[in-house]
Amino acid sequence: MIPITGGRVNGPGLGGVILPGGADLQTIRPDGVTLLQARYTIRFADGQTAGVINTGVRGASSDVVRRLTAGEVVDPALCYFRATPVFEVGPGPHGWLTESVFLSLGERLPDRVRLKVFRVD
């Protein structure tokens, strides 16, 4: 379990912060594939909050995993890191987040994870 201590959310029509208190639960299989489930809360710039459950998978060659574990910056194209975030938010300007399917592309950096989230049309 890896604590989620904060972060930022930036995108078209969205801005906010990831609040401390979330967690990234990981199951690392013997073949090096990692199953992920992250749970955290976003506070948007307008004060509304949304819960996020982001379930996914990360996999890479043993050499890439070794380099990531050693804290090296690795080309994200060398690592499969995909997840499907689900947003829990009440009525209001961010309610549309509960009406679509999203896909996130992840990148593991030495000191953080960066997610690019896309709404699936």
Going along the chain from its start, the domains and CATH numbers come out as: 2-120 (2.40.160.20)
Q: Which pLDDT belongs to residue 26? A: 94
Nearest 5°: phi and psi at 63? Answer: -65, -45
Report the amino acid identity of residue 69. Answer: T
Read off the pLDDT band of 69 (50, 70, 90): confident
Nearest 5°: phi and psi at 48? Answer: -70, 145
Q: Where are the beta strands (DSSP E) in the chain?
A: 2-4, 7-11, 14-18, 22-28, 34-44, 49-60, 79-88, 101-109, 112-120
35, 85 contact by CB (below 8 A): no
Read off the pLDDT band of 111 (50, 70, 90): confident
Instruction: Summarize the confidence of residues 29-53 as an average pLDDT.
Output: 95
Token readout for 47 is: 């004060």
81, 105 contact by CB (below 8 A): yes
CA atoms within 13 A on the CB side of 65: 14
**Cβ-based burial of 72 (10 A; exposed 0-12, middle 13-18, buried ≥19):** exposed
| Cα gap 46→5, rounded to integer Å | 21
Instruction: Summarize the confidence of residues 102-116 as an average pLDDT.
Output: 93
Q: Which pLDDT belongs to residue 105? A: 97
